[in-house]
């Protein structure tokens, strides 16, 4: 078996954050990096920096100004796949297969707007429908798969700084949590974040830009996830949330996750 290191990061504009992406790749040297919210069409994606560091294999699904996902890798990537779970052409998913047979899926689930009511807020309905389409896909999934990305849902009470304050706030509402639970059960997905950092231990991946110093009140949420197929989960040997990256210059509001697997 070979030890493989896979990272996932909502970068909130890959071109704007390129210096910290380069710093992270140099310091942590993952074999594969999955990015969400790249905000770049494929032809302007900053591929040369990644190639310079050895990430010569790219799978891109970008669009102008919004959304966008990418996989950059030192390892060969095969069988590119794209699912339009948003059902409107938005660039929110890219997948590929590694030589070891692992299927890697990189997803950016919609945030869902501010009002947790699909009748008053169409964006919230789109989010729930997106998760429902993922659920139907998961039911038929047969190959060992790692799905990573910004799920925009913090499912557990301990996944937010205050369950009481956020129970009616989009990303932590009961209806979203129920939808995500159905998705998880559809394939028996194993939440690697909570396998390595068991509840109720603190584990956040996102902090709002509204706070000048996110460490002062620590109002975080666990919106970013790495889930493994049951047959793959036992091959995971480490999972790290790189929280210090949130303090780097011009950071994303999300931090990278890294999993190591014997594949």
* Residues assigned a catalytic role: 108, 150
Asked whether the beta carbons of 231 and 17 are under 8 A apart, the reply is no
Q: Are 10 and 254 in contact (CB under 8 A)?
A: yes
Tell me the angle at which helices 122-139 and 174-187 cross, rounded to the nearest 10 degrees: 20
145 strand-pairing partners? 103
C-alpha closest to that of 59 among 71, 51, 49: 71
Q: Cα(232)–Cα(226) distance, rounded to whole angstroms?
A: 12
57-61 sheet: strands from edge to edge = 57-61, 69-73, 32-36, 3-10, 257-262, 236-241
Distance, CA of 162 to CA of 177 (rounded, Å): 15
């Amino acid at each position: 078996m070979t030890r493989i290191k896979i990272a996932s990061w909502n970068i909130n504009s890959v071109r704007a954050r390129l210096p910290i992406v380069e710093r992270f790749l140099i310091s942590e040297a993952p074999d594969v990096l999955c990015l969400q919210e790249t905000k770049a069409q494929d032809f302007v994606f900053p591929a040369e920096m990644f190639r310079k560091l050895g990430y010569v294999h790219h799978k891109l699904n970008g669009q102008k100004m919004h959304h966008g996902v990418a996989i950059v890798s030192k390892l060969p990537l095969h069988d590119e796949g794209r699912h339009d779970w948003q059902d409107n052409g938005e660039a929110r998913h890219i997948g590929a297969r590694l030589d070891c047979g692992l299927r890697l899926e990189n997803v950016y689930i919609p945030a869902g707007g501010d009002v947790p009511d699909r009748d008053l807020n169409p964006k919230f309905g789109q989010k729930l429908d997106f998760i429902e389409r993922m659920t139907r896909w998961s039911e038929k999934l047969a190959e060992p798969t790692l799905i990573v990305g910004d799920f925009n849902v913090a499912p557990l009470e301990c996944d937010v700084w205050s369950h009481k304050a956020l129970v009616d706030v989009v990303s932590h509402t009961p209806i979203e949590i129920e939808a995500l639970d159905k998705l998880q059960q559809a394939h028996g997905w194993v939440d690697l974040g909570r396998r390595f950092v068991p509840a109720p231990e603190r584990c956040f991946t996102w902090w709002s830009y509204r706070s000048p110093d996110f460490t002062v009140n620590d109002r975080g949420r666990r919106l970013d996830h790495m889930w493994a197929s049951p047959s793959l989960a036992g091959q995971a040997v480490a999972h790290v949330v790189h929280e210090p990256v949130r303090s780097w210059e011009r950071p994303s509001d999300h931090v990278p996750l890294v999993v190591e697997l014997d594949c």
